[in-house]
Structures are given as structure tokens and as C-alpha cells.
Structure 1
Amino acid sequence: MSSQAISIGHSATHGKDVELPSIREVLQELPGTVAALEVRTETIDLSKQQEMFYNLRNIVEQAQAEAENAFDLKELHSTLEEAEASSKRGYRNAQTLQSVCEILHRLWACESQYLVQAAEIIANGSRDPSWRVPFGQSGVLKFFLDVISSKDKVESNLLLHSLRVIGNSCADTNENREIVVEANYTLAIIRYFLDPDLVFVAIPVIYNICMDYEPAHAQIAVNRTAYILLKLIKDGAIEDNEALLNFAYDLIELASEQADGIENSPDGTILLLMQLAIVEGLEFGHFSSLATALAAYLEKEKFQNVCVSHKMVEGVLDVLRRSFSVEVDQSSAEDVKAAAQLRLKTNQALAEVSASPLFAENYPLDSPLSHTLKSWVVASEDQLQICACVMLGNLARSDEVCRVMVRELKIHEELISVLNGDSRGAVLHSSLGFLKNLAIASDNRAALGEAGIIPAVSRLWAYESVPQVQFSAASIARQVTISSVDNISHLLAPLSQDPDSPAHQRTYLSLLLSLFEKTDSTPIKTEIGRTVASICRTLSPMGRGGDSKALDLLDRLFTLHDGVAMPIGAMITQTKWPVVRSEGWFALALMGTDPKGCSAVVECLHKTEVTELLKAALSAEASDQVQVEETGEQKEIHKSQVAKDRENAFVLVQGLLKNESGALPEGYRGFLEDLAKSHARFLKASAEA
């Protein structure tokens, strides 16, 4: 990668008021590591220093005759990663290194010129995996950790070799990594990211400490490593070194996985992630790290609020859009899968951001972002469509906003066109969810019906591969028919206008009832029952008032739909939602008061367990059937519900006795009369009490 200039999209202008502190400012806010080294005041003559150095060198050479004599910075990655099984080569004796450690401390104390040479010898030897554990056990590692943490001025070459020892000693060696993390030496190493002569070794050393070692991940997150590396990349400090970039992007992603550690990261972290993610020519691996980190940061409420209040949501949209143009190796199943996962993560982040109460305040319907999202509703990429539906759906949280979306933006027409197309299940589900929000505003229901919402969702009632789509499609049928005679008319309209076609005698409700018969899903069955109940609640009072249209629709409801009361029965027999059960009793009572609906009720009673529940609802003990564990307010609510169920059950019995016209099976009328008498006695006893 030759350049890191921002040249795509427009998010570089977003978040311009977000502070991007310098790396030095960020580091100044973090505590330092106290180095436990001798005060450098000891005086040792030069010949003695030389003798000490030769002794150290002899010890090392005797232990490893083939020690390397040179260090190629370009090979740092391979030397740090090299990890042969130590059991094959044998550990060096830690006791042998005790004298080495003592010599190092004395050379430090007298500021010996031989200390750099000694450090280089040990650094070269540290390439051998068998040195790692002994370095930690003997104190050699601790010495060099203290050197890089020292407040004294330390020669650059000594720092270089000290970092080499640390990096190589920690390769695949958790025992040594623990030494580093325990005293927060990672922060001391991170400070050298600012040194252009040492950043090239300091970054790989941190990488080596972190690989497969969770405590280090957490520590670098707390030490704001992600922000520091992002700032280095953005400022072009390491752009010419591909290996360092690889380390940096991996560390950024590792740090972002630490939920607790990223809380104190500067607000500008997410801005840098967005800006870098949309750089032209960015390779997929680097993009993946940035997008993954961005999604992780946006899981935090702090960064959600920062993103919204500083108008950076457009930047996240740019990242999602960029995910479709970044070059992915299509021959790599792993990369293709990773790209899909990134889009899902980014979409989830956008969903969380748009759910924030601040979102609607900062991004009204007339904002450029809303217009972008509207255009994505019919985009060719699934994840853009899903993003648009979820985010605009989160905006649709008030009746007024929903009215504007339908009346002025006509967004419901685009959503319905999606339902009528060949979109995949996830897109259909998100579109249906958005439409359900729009349908909550009663003013919108007529417009949705006129736009063909019923025929559009009816084809999805057979969408067996994704039950969530079936459920949402059934739920919309209920939502749009609430108090809407026109939409009930659409639901009861013939499937064919040809009088000679068999489909002329079938309606869209017939298709919904077919789904009821086929599905094993209690939520879907219940939702279909609630749709039928909604129809009854709207039409029955109007029919009793003599409304001709309502009477015609009731006639179609009961004459064209065998088993129309069965979904109501399912509402009553389900045990998960007491409120739904009560709703079912009310709807069944409404049906029973209609002469034509009476036959449907009788069929329901005959084929389900509703009869037994009816008997239980009207029994003298019904009002006392309160769960033992319920107390106080819960008991009162339960008793109130039982009383309502009893009342509706009694209305049902009365309606059946009045309207059954011979529809009741032999002996069943007497059973109902007994129930009515029993209830009358209950009412009398209650009044006397």
C-alpha cells in the first residue's frame, strides 16, 4: 500500500468536530511503569567492565555455540514467530543465566559502553526458542523490561536490542507474557510507537505478546493501542512497511474485542476507523479488521451516542457500502464468508445506532441520510435493503413520522414492490417489519390497502423456508385490518374476478386459513386467530347497527370460509398469553351472536378442547383459580381477567342458545342450558355476598 489518502465517499467531512488527540496526549493520560533498576552511580574501571562483558559472552557462547551474530530488522516477524517445540532442543539452565543477569545489572549501574554489545548478544541468542523460559526465570527478561521502562536516557541501540529480547522471549511463552502484563510493561513498549527508529520493532513485539494470550489483549485495549495505531496509520507513519501494517491492523481488531477495555478509547477512534476503512486500494484483510473493530465499538452506548451526535452515521453507511467494492478473493470460501459476516456486523451496528433516542433528533426525515436510505430500499444488494428497512423502521416510531413516510415519501409502495419481487428471506423479513411499523398509524392503513398490501403478503403465507417471514406476513394482515372496513374488504376479496373460476369462491382470507391448517407454529396460529378476531370486532357492531357493507362482509366471512372459528379456538386453547385467550373468548362471543357465525362456533366447540375450557370458565370455582405464587397486584389482574373471560363465555352461551337454529349436536343444547343456569346461580350468589 503506497498511500493512505482519504479519497472515497464523503465521510471524511463527517465528525469534523470530533477531537483527535495526538498520540503523545493520549499516552500522557496513562500511568507509567516504574522500572526497578539500580541508580546509575556505580564506578567500575573500564578493564573490569570489559572483563565482565567477556564473561557474559563466554557464558552465552558456551550455552549456544551457534549464536547468530547479526540482526536483520526485515526478518523480525519470522524470528518472533518461530516456535519449535522446546522439548526437542532442551531448555537452557536458568541458573546459568543468573550470573548473566547480575552482570547486566552491574553494567547498567556504571553506564557501561559494553551494555549495548551484551544486549545484542542476548538478543541474538533469544531467537532460539529454548532460551525463552530461562530468560523469564532468571530475571533477564525483567531486566530488559525495566530498561525500556527507565526514566533515564537510554541509548537507542540498547532499546532496540532490549525490545528484541522481550519480543523473542514472549513468543508462544505465556509464562513470560504474564511477567510483561502483570506490571503493565506493554504500555512502556507502546510508548516507543512514537519513536521512528523503534516503532518498527515495538509494534511486532506487542503483536508477539498478544498472540493467543487474552490478558494481553485486554491490557492493550486499556492502553488505547487501537487509537494509537489508527493515528499512526492515518498520519502515514508506517504506511511504507506492509509487515507493520499487517501487525497494526491485527492489533486494532484484537483490542476491539475487549468490551471493557475500549470504553476509555478517545471518541475519535470510530472516526479514524471509518476514514481508514474507505481508503481506495485497501486490501480486504485490513478492511476486515477495521470494519470488525468499528462494529465492536458501536456496540457501546458511549460510541453510539458519539456517532449520532457528531453526525458520523453517514460514515458507517460508507463503510457498509465500501464492503461491496473492496476486492475479495472469490476463490477463498473463507474470505467470501468473512465479507458476508462483516456486512451483517455493520448492519447490526447501524441498527443499534438508529435505535438510539438521539438518532431521530439528529437525522430527521428530510436529512440526506434518510434520502440515501430510501434509495437503498430497492437496492440490488440485500444488506443495503435490510439496512434501509431497519434504520428507517427505527425512525418510524411516531404516528406523524409514519404518516409522512406514507403520504409524502410513498415509501410503502417501494416496500410492497420488494414483497412482490424475488427478494431473499432476510430482505422480506426486514421489509415486513418496516411495513408493520407504518401500519401502526391508523391513517396509513387505507393507503397500504390501496397499494396492494394484502395480495403482496398473501404470497408470503406460503413462504415455508423462513417461518419468521410467514409470521410477519400474517401479522401485517391483522395490523392493517384493525378498524379498517376497506382492508377487511381486500382480505375477503375473491382471488379471481372470473365468476366461472373456482378461485372466485376463495378469498385471501382462505389462503390465511390454509396456512393455519398447515403450520405447527403457535405464534402464527395465534396471529391468524387475532386477525379473524379483529375482523369480528370491527364488523359485528356495525352489522348489529344495520350497516349494509358490514353485513355483506360478515356474510362472506361465514359462508365462504369453513373453519373460520378454528383460529379463534387456538387463541383460547393456547396457554402462553392469557390476554390473547381473553381476546379469543370475546371474538368467539361476537361470532355466537351472529346467526351465520353460530355454525362456525359450533364447529370449533365440537373439534377442539374449547368446550372443556368453556365449562371451566363458567364454573363456580373459576374466579378462585389463581396461581398460588401470585400475590398482590398479580392476583387482582388475574381475577379481573377470569371475570372478563366468564362474562364473554356467558355471552357466547347465550348467543348459541339464541342463534344455533338446530346446529348444535344432540344433547349439546341441554349442556349449554345447564351452564347458563349455573352461571345465573353464581351471579345471584355473588350479588348476595
Structure 2
Amino acid sequence: MSAQAISTSHGAAQSGKSNWELPSIRKILEDLPSTVSSLEARTETIDSSKQQEMFRDLKTIIEQAQADEEEKVFDLKELHSSLEEAEASSKRGRRDAQTLQSVCDILHKLWSCDSQYLTQATEIIANGSRDPSWRVPFGQSGVLKFFLDVISSKEKVDPSLLLHSLRVIGNSCADTNENREIVVEGNHTLAIIRYFLDPDLVFVAIPVIYNICMDYEPAHAQIAANRTAYILLKLIQDGAIEDNEALLNFAYDLIELASEQAGGIENSPDGTILLLMQLAIVENLEFSHFSSLANSLAAYLEKERFQNVCVSNMMVEGVLDVLRRSFSVEVDQSSAEDVKAIAQLRLKTNQALAEVSASPLFAQNYPLDSPLSHTLKSWVASSEDQLQICACVMLGNLARSDEVCRVMVRELKIHEELISVLKGEARGAVLHSSLGFLKNLAIAGDNRAALGEAGIIPAVSRLWAYESVPQVQFSAASIARQVIISSVDNISYLLAPLSQDPDSPAHQRTYLSLLLSLFEKTDSTPIKTEIGRTVASICRTLSPIARGGDEKALDLLDRLFTLHDGVAMPIGAMITQTQWPVVRSEGWFALALMATDPKGCAAVVECLHKTEVTELLKTALGSEASDQVQAEEKEEKQEIDKSQETKDRENAFVLVQGLLKNESGALPEGYRDLLEDLAKPHASFLKASAEA
């Protein structure tokens, strides 16, 4: 954006009406501090002829400076042939602070006697100020400060004098930071903003603020603190500038600029976000204007205060309307910049809605039977990615209690729509948000059966090969673990054959086989760990039931160990990882459970052969030297407390006992002796621990 020359032409503006109960601009301005003018009272008496003489002197100085500048133009050949002459010629101009000091003195004298010539003099200066070479001298000579004092004066000032004063200020500040600093130092932006209320001056006051602000951060912060965003939004809402396209462009740019200032946002009235929402969904709104409003709204909703305002005042539907409107606003698809901008805008709006729905107030104000919830439910199956993501995230944030999750599954059947999304051609971001929502639903134990019956295991199994988005792989693996917790039926789905045709090779492979394939391929420790925890969960659920003679559990355990080579390897990865001590303990327990089954014991032996688990087993049940290593590790890793270490040692001992009982010759020569040596001292140790 470039600075604008301030002219005197403007279009007519019509006032609109609104039924919104929002503070008026006048009320907003009354609450802000007054700006100070250093001009003396206009009490001096100067003869009219003397005033006329001063005016002529001022005019002569300005005109002579302009004439001198014109004389500096010379032929391009002369520039190349005589650099010395060019340097001499450049010094003939008179646009310097010293020359303009006399102009500043005349202006003060004309002001002091309330001269009729002051307005004429100001117009001459304003016309000249469109030339960039005047800018710095105006600031250095005090001319700029004089006109800032004029517009800040509490005395009655002729409207034409104000108009031309604003022109001088705006043109002097265009691309000139040292002059902008003078304006900001005295908070004179507020004085200019007050003229937004004057229908005869608003057309020049807004461009003046624009020129002051462009690429000058201190001015950005000041206009934001002076509530410029709200004031401009209210002007637009009231129709005060609707017929002037240039003013609208300036206004929307300034609204977005002010929204980038955290301090200004905090100083804005609550109703600012309502104005942003309402204006953003106006029909036939230009994309650039829509973008300014939507980006500003997202910035406001980053703040907890406005999140609470939004939810408490039932404005969330308005934010949804803005997101929906982003799909109908006209965007130039041939412009890569515009296409990128609308995509970023949708992401920002979605993030804002995610933050809003994460508020504890959200569930209180928007229960499951609210119209907003019904809208979100309809968006789950939308053809627009960002609407689907929005629905999953916001409804997922509602799914924070078991009762709400049960209702979503039992009554709304929303899990069926989510599973359909997983089966379709949705992009990675949609899949990720859908999986996150399903994981929330699966936390309620009663829902796991319904999710299994709806086919969640086959649906997520195809995503275990979704290599382009690792987050999707992880979430898909994680939800498999989530739904099988304490659920024999869902474990049976996981261990079901990939094909019902007995003659097909896929009949001997299960969905768990696909998960184990992912374990072999991935380098991701979190994914490996989730797969290990899934296998551990299967053992934890089935082993106790199988010991009681349950036929289904026995059959499933048999399938687990006979159809899956390397099934214990993921559990070994749980033990060898070092990030989560609790997961390591879980792994020891699961491996011990496996060892109590003769077929499972063979899988454990394979794990001991191929991993570092044997060395860790020695550490857990080892000699005094190993105890010393343990002590050093404890010193380095304080998170491993004594009770957890004892539990790990107990499970390691059970593991060794199971191996010694069920290995049936699978152990290598000498390995059984090693295990027996490890087990002997710890039998008495664990007995003593139990008695203690």
C-alpha cells in the first residue's frame, strides 16, 4: 500500500440506521483523553493591511521556493557532462527548514489575530505539500506542528482551515517517518480521528490517518489504542462512507491494521466482534474487504476476553456464518495471492472457532440440542474440508463428558458419519480431525461397542498405510488401541481375517497384521509405542478371561499368537523406549502375561532374541553391579519412583518364571541357566517386599 495525496474532492455519504445496541462513536471518543494544543489564544490585534502583507510574504516564499525547484531541471546530457554543475544547481532550491521558519512565524501571527488570511495561506501550503520535497522541511521548521495544534485546538476553527490543515498533515506524513513521529508523540492521531464524525471532513481525515500509519509501527499501536477499528466499523455500519469506494478501502485496511495490535484489541469495546461478524457477511462484499474483516475477527478471538464475550453473548453462530461466507465470496482464482489468502483466512477462522469451543462456557451455552450443534453435525459430511474440520473440532470439544459422548453416539449416530468420512476420499487434515473426534467419543466405555459394530476397525485400517501424513497414521493406530480397551468383541474385529474366503491368502491375515506391518515400516517412536500398547491391551483383556476357561478368549489368544509373527516385538519397543517410564512398566506387564501362555512364550523368546530387552531384563533382575547402574539411572531420571521400579522388577520376575515354565525348549543353550540365576535371588527379595 502506498501513501495517498490528500485532495479536496469527495463523494456524498448517506447515513444508515441500525438496531444494534452498540456504543456510539461520540460515546467512544468521550471516553478517550483530550489532545493538547500549544497555540496561544487568538487575542492579538493586527492591522488588516499588516495581515495582508504577511500573507503576501508567505505566498511569495512558497512560490519562490517552487520556482527555484523548477529551475533545477536540466538536460540529461548536462547531467552526464557536468556533475559539478548539477551539484551547484541542486543547492539553489529554498525548500529548507530555515526558509520555512519565517513561514511558521507568519502562521502563528495570523492565528493569534484570528486572521481571515490564515485559511488562504493554509490552502497554498496544502497545495504545495503534495510535492514530496516539502515533507521533511515542514516537519523540521515547525509548520507541521502548527497545523497539528490547529486541529487539536478547543477553540472554534473555520471548517475550511481544518480541511486544509488536515491536507498538510496527511501529505507531510506520507512515507516520512520523522514527521509521523511528531504526530504520534503528541497523540495527534486522536485529534484527527475525532474528525471522522464530521461529514465534511471524514473524507480527508481517514486518508490522513492512512498516510500516517502505513509502514510505521508506532502509529499502528496508537490508532489501535484510540479505538479506530471500532469507530471505522461503526461508520461503515451507519452508512457514513458507503458511497465512497476510496474511503472504504482505506477504512478496511486500517481496521485490519489496528487488529494486529494486541493492546488495541484489549482496549476495544465488546461490540467490535459483533460489527466484524455482521459486516463480513454483507452480500456483494469485495474480497479484500471481507478478508480484512475476517482476519480482524480471528485476531480478536485469539484473546480470552473476546472468546468469552463471543460465547456468553451467543455470537458463535456469527463466526460460523463468516466461515460459511468465505466459500461464497468472489475470489479471483487466477490470482495465486488471493487463493492463498482465502485459504489462510479459513484456517485462521477455524483456529478461532477451535479456541472458542474449547472454553468451558461453550458447553454451557451451546448444548447438543442447540441449533449451532445441528449446523455443525450437518457440516461433518460437507464437501468443504474446512467446514468438516470445524465441525469435528467444535463437536469434539463438546464431547468432554461420558454422557455427552453417549448421546452423540446413541442418539445422534454421529460416529457413523465420521466413519463414513474415514472410508471416503477426505484429505489428511479432515481425516486427522475426524479421528480426533472419534477418539473423544471412544473414551466413554459404553461407546466402544457401537464404534466396533459400525466398522471402525476396517475404516481406520486403511489409514495405517497413510504415509503422507504421519499424524493420521498415529491417530488411526491410537484409536484402534482406544476401542479395544476391555472389549472382547472389538478385539475380535481386530483379529478378524482380511478376507472371508478360506482359499485367499488374506484369510490368514488379520487387521492386526496390517498394524504390525506399520510397526515394521515406521520410524516413529510414538506410533511404535501405540502399536505395542494395543498388543498389550489385547493380552491384558484376554489373558485373565482365558485362564477362566472362556472359549472365545482362548480362541482369540490362539489367533493372536499363531497368525502374527513378531507379535511381541511392539511390546519390546515399549520396554526399550526411554521417553515414558509408565509405558515401559506397561510393557513388562504385557510381556509377562504373554509368557504365561505356551504359544505366547515363543513370541516372547523371539522378542528377547531380536531386541535389547534381554539386557534390560538383566538390569531389572541383575547383580550388584546392575543395582549400581540402576542407582545411577535413578539419579539421572527422577521420574522413576521406587514403587514403579519395584513393580517393574515384579513383572520382570513373573516374565522369567513364565519363560522357565512354558519355553518348551525354545530358549537357546545357556539362556535357561541365565534366567534361573536371575530369578533365584529375586524370589526371596520379592517375598520380603510383599511382607514389608
The bucket for the TM-score relative to the shorter chain is: over 0.9
Give runs of aligned pairs for residues 35-74 of structure 1, distance below 5 A.
35-65=37-67
Moved more, 57-66 or 519-528: 57-66
Mapping 1:5-404, distance limit 5 Å? 19-65=21-67, 92-404=95-407
Matches within 5 A, 1:425-436: 425-436=428-439
Query: What stretches of structure 1 move > 6 A for 4+ residues in a row?
Result: 1-6, 87-91, 684-689
Q: Is the 8 A contact 1:572 1:582 kept in 2?
A: yes
Q: Distance in 1 between matches of 2:486 and 2:12?
A: 64
- Which residue does 2:566 correspond to in 1? 563
Task: Please tell me whether the aligned partners of residues 429 and 469 of structure 1 are also in contact (alpha carbons under 8 angstroms).
Answer: yes
What is the TM-score when the length of structure 1 is the normalising length? 0.93
Residue deviations 1:440-496 (CA, integer Å, cap 9, x gap):
000000000000000000000011111111100000000000000000000000000
Aligned to 2:653, which of 621, 643, 650? 650
Separation in 1, partners of 2:339, 2:161: 45
Indicate how the Cα distance of structure 1 residues 265 and 687 shifts in structure 2: closer, same or farther if over 3 A, else same: closer
* Count of aligned pairs: 658
Asked if residue 624 in structure 1 is aligned to residue 631 in structure 2, the reply is yes
Q: CA deviation at 1:678?
A: 3.5
- Do 2:227 and 2:268's aligned partners in 1 also have CA atoms closer than 8 Å? yes
TM-score (norm 2): 0.92
Q: CA deviation at 1:28?
A: 0.5
* Structure 1 residues 688 and 443, CA gap change in structure 2 (3 angstroms): closer
Deviation string, structure 1 residues 308-361 (Cα, Å, up to 9, x no partner): 111111111111010000000111111111111111111111111000100000
- How far did residue 92 of structure 1 move? 2.4
Name the structure 2 match of 1:503: 506
> What amino acid maps onto 2:53 in structure 1?
E
Q: Deviations over 1:501-556 (max 9, x none)?
A: 10000000000000000111111111111111111110111111111111110000
| Residue 537 of structure 2: aligned partner | 534
Deviation of residue 624 (structure 1)?
A: 2.8
Structure 2 CA distance for aligned equivalents of residues 367 and 428 of structure 1: 26
Cα RMSD over matched residues? 2.2
Measure how far apart 1:67 and its partner are: 9.5
Residue 514 (str. 1) matches residue 517 (str. 2): yes
In the aligned structure 1, how far is the partner of 2:650 from the partner of 2:158? 91
Aligned to 1:445: 448
Aligned residue for 1:80? none
More divergent stretch after superposition (618-627 vs 25-34): 618-627
Among candidates 579, 583, 593, match of residue 582 of structure 2: 579
Distance 2:456 2:611 in 1: 32
2:649 partner amino acid:
R
1:467-478 equivalence runs, <5 A: 467-478=470-481
Q: Which has the higher contact order (CA 8 A, sep 6+)?
A: 1
Deviations 1:576-612, CA, capped at 9 Å, x for gaps: 1111111111111111111110011111111011111
Structure 2 CA distance for partners of 1:288 and 1:439, relative to 1, 3 Å: same
The answer (yes or no) to whether the contact 1:4–1:234 under 8 Å persists in 2 is no
CA contact (8 A) 1:618 1:679 kept: yes
> Contact 1:218/1:261 (CA < 8 Å) preserved in 2?
yes
- Map 1:590-629 to 2 at 5 A: 590-619=593-622, 620=624, 621=627, 624-628=631-635
Q: Structure 1 residues 628 and 110 mapped into 2: Cα distance closer, same or farther (>3 Å)? A: farther
Instruction: Give 3-state SS (helix, strand or coil) of 2:262's partner.
Output: coil
2:650–2:686 Cα contact (<8 Å) kept? no
Match of 1:130, SS state, is helix
Q: How far has the Cα of 1:182 moved from its partner?
A: 1.4
Going from structure 1 to structure 2, the CA distance change for 1:276 and 1:3 (only over 3 Å counts) comes to: farther
Equivalent pair of 2:13/2:241 in contact (CA under 8 Å): no
The SS at the match of 1:494 is coil
**1:377-414 CA deviation, whole Å, 9 max, x = no partner?**
00111110000000000000000000000000000000
For 2:128 and 2:691, locate their aligned partners in 1 and report how far apart those are by CA, in whole Å: 100
Instruction: Report how far residue 680 of structure 1 moved.
Output: 3.5
Q: Distance in 2 between matches of 1:248 and 1:364?
A: 38
Q: Which runs of 5+ in 1 are unaligned?
A: 7-11, 69-86
Identity of aligned residues (%): 87
User: Contact (CA 8 Å) 1:91, 1:131: kept in 2 or not?
Assistant: no
Deviations 1:241-284 (A, max 9, x none): 00000000000000001112211211111111111111110010
Cα distance in 2, alignment partners of residues 683 and 20 from structure 1 = 73
Displacement, 1:644? 1.3
311 and 684 in structure 1: CA distance in 2 versus 1, 3 angstrom threshold: closer
Distance 2:175 2:362 in 1: 45
Deviation at 1:687, TM superposition (A): 8.7
Letter in 1 for 2:283: E
Report the alpha carbon displacement of residue 127 of structure 1 after superposing the two structures with TM: 0.8
Change (3 A) 1:211 1:443: same
CA distance in 2, matches of 1:477, 1:409: 22
Compute the displacement of 1:128 (Å): 1.1
Question: Structure 2: 5+ residue runs without aligned partners?
Answer: 1-10, 71-88
Instruction: Evaluate the alpha carbon distance shift between residue 41 and residue 326 of structure 1 in structure 2; reply closer, same or farther with a 3 A threshold.
Output: same
Cα deviation digits, residues 137-165 of structure 1 (max 9, x gap): 11111111111000001111111111111
Find the aligned partners of 2:12 and 2:681 in 1 and give their Cα distance: 89
The answer on whether the counterparts of 1:305 and 1:356 sit within 8 Å (CA) in structure 2 is yes
